[in-house]
């Protein structure tokens, strides 16, 4: 199964594509979609929408995962990040992909083993887990981390959902199924 991970951002949206075979993960691609810092918001959101759509077309993932928005000290920044995230999600669901959502803490816990890991630790562990020759950029590493988190979670979530239709609405909250 091919999994697309997205680390949303208004200036830079990271993406990571991995393939999962049983318990093995294989790196396919990663990079960023850059909108810059200048210009009106709608054209910048269009860049994210089109960029994610092109990535989906190029790699044909079976599912996607995206990082949840954290509440910033600056509410305006949080709103802008939410809009960038919305553009990415729109592209994913527009391509009929199932989209899972994970917090930064869940991603760090799945990749590094602790929810308080630094960005450099995430970069290093992503490179190790995917046997990369070097460290990916921070946005790409975060997106690959989201994809890895989903790869680790998807079997468990599918199994729980298969046990009972009523449990199909389970989600993660504070690293626990609720």
Q: CA-based Rg of the chain, rounded to a whole angstrom? A: 16
Are 102 and 150 in contact by the 8 Å Cβ rule? The answer is: yes
- Catalytic one of 54, 98, 124, 139: 139
Annotated active-site residue 139? The verdict is: yes
Catalytic residue among 7, 19, 96, 98, which? 7
Give me the catalytic one of 19, 38, 54, 67. Answer: 67
Complete DSSP assignment for 59-92: H--SEEEEEPPPPPSSHHHHHHHHHHHHHHHHHH
Is the distance from CB of 70 to CB of 104 less than 8 angstroms? yes
DSSP state of 112: T
Q: What is the DSSP pairing of strand 2-7 with strand 63-67? A: parallel
Q: How far is the C-alpha of 36 from the C-alpha of 25, rounded, in Å?
A: 32
Q: Active-site residue numbers?
A: 7, 67, 139
């Amino acid at each position: 199964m091919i999994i697309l991970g997205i680390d949303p951002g208004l200036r830079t949206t990271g993406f990571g594509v991995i393939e999962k075979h049983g318990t093995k993960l294989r790196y396919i691609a990663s990079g960023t979609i850059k909108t810059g810092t200048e210009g009106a918001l709608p054209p910048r959101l269009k860049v994210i929408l089109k960029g994610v759509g092109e990535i989906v077309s190029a790699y044909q993932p079976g599912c996607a995962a995206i990082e949840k928005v954290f509440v910033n000290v600056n509410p305006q920044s949080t709103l802008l990040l939410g809009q960038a995230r919305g553009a990415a999600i729109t592209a994913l669901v527009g391509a009929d992909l199932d989209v899972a959502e994970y917090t930064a803490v869940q991603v760090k816990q799945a990749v590094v083993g602790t929810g308080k890991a630094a960005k450099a630790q995430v970069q290093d562990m992503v490179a190790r887990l995917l046997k990369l020759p070097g460290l990916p950029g921070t946005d790409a590493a975060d997106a690959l981390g989201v994809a890895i988190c989903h790869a680790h979670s998807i079997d468990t979530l599918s199994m729980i959902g298969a046990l009972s239709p009523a449990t199909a609405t389970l989600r993660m909250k504070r690293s626990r199924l609720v």
